[in-house]
Structure formats: C-alpha cells, structure tokens
Structure 1
C-alpha cells in the first residue's frame, strides 16, 4: 500500500484530519499482511488524501490491479481499506461497496510512476 504524504496529502491543506494517526493506524492494522509506505507525492493532489492499494502476488496472479483511492479523509474509510487488505485486497477480496465512492483513475503518467 502506498500512502501519499506530499504537498497536499497529509498536510494542513486537508484540515480536520489527523494525518499522522491515519498513517499509524494503517501501519498497525496491516503490519502482519502488507507493507504500508508513505511517499512524497503521487501527483493527484486534487484527490488528497490518496492511497494506492497494490495487489499481493496472489492477488496479481488472480487478476488484481492497483486500486487508487482519493479523498480518504475519514477514519471509517481508512478502517474499510484496512479490512479489505486484511481480507486479501485486489484480486482476492471484494472491496466494501462504500470504497466505490473513493476510487478514481489517475493519468497514465502518474499510474506508471507507482505501478511499475
């Protein structure tokens, strides 16, 4: 999982969100099953806070692709993402229906930077 923490994500530009707590919660919840890494910028600033859920090896073999989630500024959304990843994530488990509201498609240039 990649969590944006650059110029817009994880900053005061998205007020009312405890950005440090969000990242800490994801790391704590997912430590047994996934690596959570923070990166400087995913260049999708209009969607801050952005999280990209990468499929596991098994998930990729089953056809899973990275899922880009934006506007993840609610603790419940963060919990839903963590639960989905614990259940297997892309390719292995269906995401909670509510995550459809957060999913977006970045430009090909941006997608290549993270997914390659």
Structure 2
C-alpha cells in the first residue's frame, strides 16, 4: 500500500516560556522534544516536528499544535492546540492518537481533551478581591503593626 499525502505534523513551542525550566520546572523539555520527534504514524512515516520560538499563549506552556494529515484534513480535521503539555503520559496519548490518524481521522483521546486550547486563548484574570476583603486585610495588618511596634506591651496600653 502506497501512502498518499502527508502525515500529521507537529509544531512544538520552545521559546521564552515553553520548554524552559524557569516556567515549567521538573519537566525534561529536551527529552519531551526528542520523544515527539520520534513519533510515527500507522504507515510508519515520521511525524514532522517544527520548533517554534513562540506561539503566543505562554500561560499555557508547553504548547503543541497537532496539524492533521492529508487524510484527516480531507475528513474535516483542523489543527488542534494543546496546552499545559508537560507530562510524559500526554506524549504517549498523542502518539496513540497520531498513530490512529490524528485530527479528522480519529477521535481525540479523553486524556488530551482537557489540554485543548487555541491560538486565541485568553489568560485567565486573577480574581479580584472585594472591597470588604481588602478593608479587613488592612485592619489586620494595622493591628499586627501596632503589636509589633512595642514588643512586650499590649496594644492600647501606655
């Protein structure tokens, strides 16, 4: 059987945040890239990997984009962006998915679903504290400062 078209392709972010120990300590970034670069599809074709300096959603580091194979694209597949791609088990899940055909040709594995993101993902805003919370915090800090200012004396006593 002769293969027609291209296999799935990967774009792996390895820029200012993705692929750095500062942003994601405890991850073997070089090892992960090597494992991704060794993936093959069901026809034994190497899955091309392109390394990008930045894909723009740094808060989701590490980011991997899975582009469909020619067959997957013909079946309606579109690129799938995966964020927080830091665990070895995710590489195994991705390997199985690409082997099965990838976007458009095979369903997305459940383990990868929670990692789906997009190039337009917005960084979640930090929750704002209510005015009452801020006021209570200031009162607590003021009381501590008063106690700490005069060691051995009780606040309010001269």
TM > 0.5 fold call = yes
Query: 1:30-62 CA distances to partner (integer Å, 9 max, x unpaired)?
Result: 382421111111011000000000001111110
Per chain length, whose mean CA-contact separation is higher, i.e. which structure has more relative contact order (CA < 8 Å, sep 6+)? 1
Judging by fraction of residues, say which structure has more helix.
1
Check conservation: 2:81, 2:116, Cα contact below 8 A: yes
The structural deviation recorded for 1:86 is 1.3
Q: Figure out how many residues of one structure are paired with residues of the other and give that number.
A: 108
Secondary structure of residue in 1 paired with 2:35 = helix
Q: CA RMSD in A?
A: 1.4
Detail structure 1 runs of 4+ shifted over 6 Å in the superposition.
none
Could you say which residue in structure 1 is the equivalent of 2:156? none
Query: 1:5-52 CA distances to partner (integer Å, 9 max, x unpaired)?
Result: 000000111100000000100111238242111111101100000000
The correspondence of residues 24-39 of structure 1 with structure 2, limited to 5 A, is 24-30=34-40, 32-39=45-52
Give the gaps of 5 or more residues in structure 1: 109-116
Could you say which residue in structure 2 is the equivalent of 1:55? 68
The correspondence of residues 34-113 of structure 1 with structure 2, limited to 5 A, is 34-107=47-120
The structural deviation recorded for 1:95 is 1.7
Q: Distance in 1 between matches of 2:73 and 2:45?
A: 19
Give the gaps of 5 or more residues in structure 2: 1-9, 122-158
